[in-house]
Amino acid sequence: MEEFSFSTRIFFGEGALERLRRVQDKKVMIVTDRFMAGIGVPDKVAGHLTRCQVSVFDGVVPDPPIEVVAAGVQALQDCGAEVMIAVGGGSTIDAATAIRAAAIDQGAARLMGINVDRIIALVFLIGPGLGGVAGVMVGLTYGQISFDMGFSYGLKAFTAAILGGIGNIPGAMLGGMLLGLIETLGAAYLTMAWKDALSFLVLILILIIRPTGILGERVAEKL
């Protein structure tokens, strides 16, 4: 016996856009190129979505290189999209597929020819670089620099990421604001000595009650 399966369903022809009305109350990222964006096609597609928050990534070029995929993955993470729609030709569809694969499955990304190790190395270069810039700014602000000055900041950043949801950029921002609010209220109504203790208490409670964080982990769906 032989079997062939094809999990992707394709809708085309008159009325195909009406299918998009089934996408409701989602964060959506439309992947396209500058030409399609310039003539307003993504806006037409967005008009068929119901109560959705739509972001557009229009950086696709013919035979998209790895830099385009990396930029698309960053855009996907920034907007926290739950659904991704490709609008355009073969290059756009290939780019959208590569973006989704690289964001979700490293094995699939490697099979598609994406240099995952290079992307990981790039992320690790950008992260410490931003940390170094932040360290210089803190040193200039407080007038002193020490080798362990980043420990408490890093621990609080980790707490904020856990609080909002690992892998969720909007969640990390929300976690940072909530953690700052908790520390400020604790210092105002208790004492300054309890400020750091409250941060650790929040971390412990989140790990016990809701390990995935407030917003949880975002996973993009394919449409």
Tens-place pLDDT, residues 99-129: 877 776 666 666 656 677 777 788 788 878 8
Q: Which helix (H) or strand (E) segment is 77 a member of?
A: helix 66-79
CB atoms near residue 50 (< 10 Å): 11
State both tokens at 107.
Answer: 């094995």
CA distances from residue 154 to 119, 127, 135, 175 in whole angstroms, order as listed: 23, 12, 11, 14
Burial degree of 104 (CB within 10 A; 0-12, 13-18, 19+): middle
pLDDT, tens digit, 9 for 90 and up, residues 177-193: 888 888 888 777 777 77
For the chain, the average pLDDT equals: 79
What is the pLDDT at residue 8? 55
- Distance, in Å, from the CA atom of 23 to the CA atom of 28, rounded to the nearest integer, reads 9
* Three-state DSSP class for residue 191: coil
Residue 63 makes CB contacts below 8 A (sequence gap 6+) with 91
What is the pLDDT at residue 57? 92
- Distance, in Å, from the CA atom of 192 to the CA atom of 195, rounded to the nearest integer, reads 5
pTM above 0.75, yes or no: no
Give the strand order in the sheet containing 221-222: 53-60, 27-33, 83-86, 221-222
Higher pLDDT, 209 or 123: 209
pLDDT tops 80 at residue 6: no
When pLDDT is averaged across residues 86-100 and rounded to a whole number, the result is 84
